[in-house]
Structure 1
């Protein structure tokens, strides 16, 4: 439906092989999902799990991990490190989520943001169906229109989606979706948004650059 084949090429080449959990994701999970308080192991699904950077976090708080990604190279990397300690599926998560759930927590670190709006909408509908009552979605690094990169990319056939980056963090990654507040609130209209943070980072050396992104915590109603 919307998977960019560029990501298989990236992972196969050994790029984007992050193996440490993302600090913003850790903070939001521990503050708002509180998996350590659960009487049973927290069931966690990651959308676009890549090479498994967030698996150590899930295992640290005693959770059970399910991951979905459409890159066979990324999933093979996870299998070589974690074996049967995790459950994985290769699929386009904007078209299907092969796991039935229910999940207590669904996480996404800058994976859904590389898809068109309709694909994101469909994925969020599937996520909502698979979340347990009161389950939590935590998404970080949903790119903001306030980023300089929004104006640097080539407009695609999809509104608010850019492509064609030849350098920088988005080089050769295919589609990059940028959001404003209204669009995020519309996408999550079936959830209760508990946290919506707009983070802006400006650097001056070695070159002036403005980065901006959204972090989201949403609860199933």
Structure 2
């Protein structure tokens, strides 16, 4: 099992990273490809690492059929409370999202990864992306955000294996208990472009001007199964 239980015991149990609102990239991508759909309940969307259901609640509110996966029982409990409070219907499942064998082939119109699979080793990331391709319908959409090797945090992390770092001594992720994978240009080709048609391939880099040595870098990808 690749799920790191620290997400449950050190993050969500302490009500950290409890996001209330959906991420803008999720909103814009969903509406770009499915906003004009007349019967939204026919559109099935799966989120990997749904956390406390901020994106899932948005999907449910907009009438889509949504399923969220997270390995943290505390996150799932908080997510269910949110859905109940808003009187929304969606399915939240506590499971390791790197293992999707319980879902049938070509069963989803969209899969969302808003910076979740990046907290795994490369072999688990590759397995997950391969499984995402399997569960997506033809012309289905895969939104994925994964940290870039150009991120300044790379110089602060302790190496577990190529691209995989943890125990950061400085920078944005100091004190963060999880592992991070930082994808190179070649990783994007091997992991995504070899399987999908790329509809958008953004490499976002932002610099902290109060500390010019620190800058964020992330791949924001929109892929389509053909």
Q: Provide, for residues 179-220 of structure 1, a one-character-per-residue CA deviation record: whole Å limited to 9, x for no partner.
A: 122101210111111111000101112x33211101011111
Instruction: State how far apart, in whole Å, the 1-side matches of 2:55 and 2:169 are.
Output: 28
TM-score computed with the length of structure 2 as normaliser: 0.89
Aligned equivalent of 1:126: 131
* 1:159-178 pair list within 5 angstroms: 159-165=162-168, 168-169=172-173, 171-178=175-182
Higher relative contact order (CA 8 A, sep 6+): 1
Instruction: State how far apart, in whole Å, the 1-side matches of 2:51 and 2:103 are.
Output: 17
Instruction: State how far apart, in whole Å, the 2-side matches of 1:197 and 1:27 are.
Output: 14
Q: Which runs of 5+ in 2 are unaligned?
A: none
**Cα RMSD over matched residues?**
1.8
Alpha-carbon shift at residue 112 of structure 1 (Å): 0.2
Instruction: State how far apart, in whole Å, the 1-side matches of 2:40 and 2:18 are.
Output: 31
Aligned equivalent of 1:55: 56
Task: Pick closer, same or farther for the CA change 1:170–1:85 going to 2, 3 Å.
Answer: farther
* 1:1-221 pair list within 5 angstroms: 1-9=1-9, 10-31=11-32, 33-41=33-41, 42-83=43-84, 85-100=89-104, 102-140=107-145, 142-156=146-160, 158-165=161-168, 168-169=172-173, 171-188=175-192, 189-205=194-210, 207-208=211-212, 209-221=214-226
TM-score computed with the length of structure 1 as normaliser: 0.91
Residues matched between the structures, number = 217
